[in-house]
A and B are shown apart, each in its own frame.
Chain A
Amino acid sequence: MLRNILFYIKEAFLSTKKNGIMSLATMISLTAALIIVGMFLLISFNINLFMDNIESELLAIAYLKDNLSEEEIKQLVQDTTELEGVKEVKYISKEDAFQKLKEDLTEHEEILAGIPENPLPSSIEILVTETTYLQEIAFQLNQYGGIEEVNYGGQLTEKLIALFDFIRKTGLAMIFILVFIATLIMFSVIKISVHSRQQEIEIMSLVGATSWFIRWPFIIEGFLKGFLSSILSAFILIRTYFYYLDKIKIILPFIPILSDHVVLFKITLIIVLLGTLIGIFGSMFSLRKISYEEI
């Protein structure tokens, strides 16, 4: 068994070497395809993260005037809670708001350095059940004298959700198309490899090698090409992602961007698994039938 496995691996390497340029071209194409697949995966995961954030923030924020008494605030919160479509109302004092800003900007403390005192107003955050209520609630709140301004995402949130949903679906379709194309590339390359080793295959089948014995070196060849390409593409993808992640974090510190190592590891794993499977199945399709006849 081990003897056979060593033979398969040796033959697989020999074949890769024999079709050097072709092997290189395949691996480059496969790497490129996998990088694009990976990009769509990253975009999709990031959109999920972003949507989780905005969906959980079906939120209107009413900024309060500084001169409100505690009693007035209490009454305001009470009245707001009773409005239609309101799920939850939360009062955020000036101090809480400033504290939260400090936490958000821990990496950019210099921004706050020049501010002598707390410039933020106190506010109430109103979580609504559906985006459709936002406009009406905002209108009602604006009738109160103690409210400076009401902000809400509203239509923009809805449009963003629709847009991201579209991007996600397009991405998924692109992934399917790319995986199909990559499998076709692998299929054709192994076909060429089989063709260039026709003599060996003929001899193998003449001297009594079983069809699986003939197939294994090609399957291993496909596996190796798929595996190496996927490792390479995962490496390029993750390195590039982290490079831009740092830049984006500096430019847009408030946008949530995927940087969870466990999730990124999962994406790497998906790419490696995908590349390897493309390699193996591409080879298997091109070797469906080893003919013992007409040699």
Chain B
Amino acid sequence: MIRMFHVFKIFPNKIHALWDVNIHIKKGEFVFLVGPTGAGKTTFLKLVYRGTLPSKGQVIVDGVNLSRLKPTLIPYLRREIGVVFQDFKLLYDRNVFENVAFSLRVVGTKNSTIKQEVNDILNLMGLSNKKNANPHLLSGGEQQKLCIARAVVSHPLILLTDEPTGNLDPETSWEIMKLLFKINIRGTTVIVASHDKLMVDRAQKRVIRIEQGEIMSDTQKGFYKK
């Protein structure tokens, strides 16, 4: 599903975010991307959803070489990838339902389908009873669930989450993880960038460790630190 061949990402200020990264993530996998802040996790995710291009090397997502992807085709790649950020990026002038529906509306989905899909996903996330509420009124955990709902409502092939449990207490964090497992079981490839040691150790999934832009380890059923 995702392949990286000798990927380098060097910023104009000569700081290298990624250094010779080679990786293969198969369809339906659940992968943790761990490492300290500034290790290159976010850049890794950006490369996957074509938020940036590698300075050198190739990134292939679902058979498409992203360096050769025409800018006009980027939206169609993005429709196959859900992204969740630590800072939520919610629309606070719309209610919960509309926040989720927004990502279907902008790809021209029919209203009846939108209603069905949004209700289904809000149900899965346990947010059905809050669908008319403003996101401001939701707790941190609920806002994160809303972000996940928005990212997966269109059934993407890949879900990328950047520090999804960054601001949450351990219990809520685990709840979020369980939701991500559920989404993974439905067939979506999930990548979680995290430095939440507790969560990573408890999940027992594949762990790719990045430090200073380089892959230090890649273990199935791994732990935060070997």
Tell whether A208 is near chain B: CB-to-CB under 8 Å: yes
Interface size on B, residues (CB 8 A): 29
Say how far A85's CB is from chain B's closest CB, in angstroms.
Answer: 70
Tell whether B38 is near chain A: CB-to-CB under 8 Å: no
Instruction: Take A292-B50, A292-B74, A295-B51 as given contacts and tell me if A208 and B106 are in contact as well, using a CB distance cutoff of 8 Å.
Output: yes
Closest to B80 in A: A208
How long is the Cα–Cα vector from A202 to B72 in the complex, in angstroms? 16
How long is the Cα–Cα vector from A205 to B71 in the complex, in angstroms? 12
User: Inside 8 A of A210's CB, which chain B residues have their CB?
Assistant: 72, 75
Say how far A119's CB is from chain B's closest CB, in angstroms.
Answer: 78
Contact indicator A4/B75 (Cβ below 8 Å): no
Say how far B44's CB is from chain A's closest CB, in angstroms.
Answer: 15
Task: Choose among A14, A214, A293 the residue that contacts B93 (Cβ–Cβ < 8 A).
Answer: A14
* Chain A CB within 10 Å, residue with most, of B75, B111, B154: B75
User: Inside 8 A of A24's CB, which chain B residues have their CB?
Assistant: none
Q: Mark B40-58 against chain A: 1 for CB-CB distance below 8 A, else 0.
A: 0000001001111100000
User: Inside 8 A of B89's CB, which chain A residues have their CB?
Assistant: 199, 202-203, 206
Tell whether A70 is near chain B: CB-to-CB under 8 Å: no
Give me the interface of B with A, judged by CB distance under 8 Å.
Answer: 46, 49-53, 71-72, 74-79, 83, 89, 91, 93, 102-103, 105-108, 110-111, 150-151, 154
Give me the interface of A with B, judged by CB distance under 8 Å.
Answer: 3-4, 7, 14, 18, 199-200, 202-211, 213-214, 292-295
Task: Choose among A4, A18, A199, A206 the residue that contacts B49 (Cβ–Cβ < 8 A).
Answer: A206
User: Inside 8 A of B51's CB, which chain A residues have their CB?
Assistant: 292-295
Contact indicator B78/A208 (Cβ below 8 Å): yes
The A interface, classified by DSSP as helix, strand, loop or mixed, is: helix
Task: Choose among B53, B106, B150 the residue that contacts A209 (Cβ–Cβ < 8 A).
Answer: B106
A206-B83, A292-B74 are known contacts; what are 5 more A-B pairs with Cβ within 8 Å? A205-B75, A207-B79, A209-B75, A292-B50, A293-B51
Say how far B55's CB is from chain A's closest CB, in angstroms.
Answer: 13
How long is the Cα–Cα vector from A208 to B71 in the complex, in angstroms? 12
Contact indicator B108/A4 (Cβ below 8 Å): yes
User: Inside 8 A of A209's CB, which chain B residues have their CB?
Assistant: 75, 106-107
Closest to A210 in B: B75
Contact indicator B75/A208 (Cβ below 8 Å): yes
Contact indicator A208/B53 (Cβ below 8 Å): no
How long is the Cα–Cα vector from A214 to B72 in the complex, in angstroms? 13
Can you report 21 A-B residue pairs in the complex whose CB atoms are below 8 A from each other? A3-B110, A4-B108, A18-B93, A199-B89, A204-B106, A205-B78, A206-B49, A206-B78, A206-B83, A208-B77, A208-B106, A209-B75, A209-B106, A209-B107, A210-B75, A213-B75, A213-B106, A214-B106, A292-B78, A293-B51, A295-B51
User: Inside 8 A of B79's CB, which chain A residues have their CB?
Assistant: 207-208
Closest to A200 in B: B91
Say how far A269's CB is from chain B's closest CB, in angstroms.
Answer: 35
Instruction: Take A4-B108, A18-B93, A208-B76 as given contacts and tell me if A203 and B103 are in contact as well, using a CB distance cutoff of 8 Å.
Output: yes
User: Inside 8 A of B151's CB, which chain A residues have their CB?
Assistant: 207
* Chain B CB within 10 Å, residue with most, of A3, A18, A200, A206: A206
Say how far B158's CB is from chain A's closest CB, in angstroms.
Answer: 12
How long is the Cα–Cα vector from A209 to B105 in the complex, in angstroms? 9
How long is the Cα–Cα vector from A295 to B49 in the complex, in angstroms? 10
Contact indicator A203/B102 (Cβ below 8 Å): yes
User: Inside 8 A of A208's CB, which chain B residues have their CB?
Assistant: 75-79, 106-107, 154
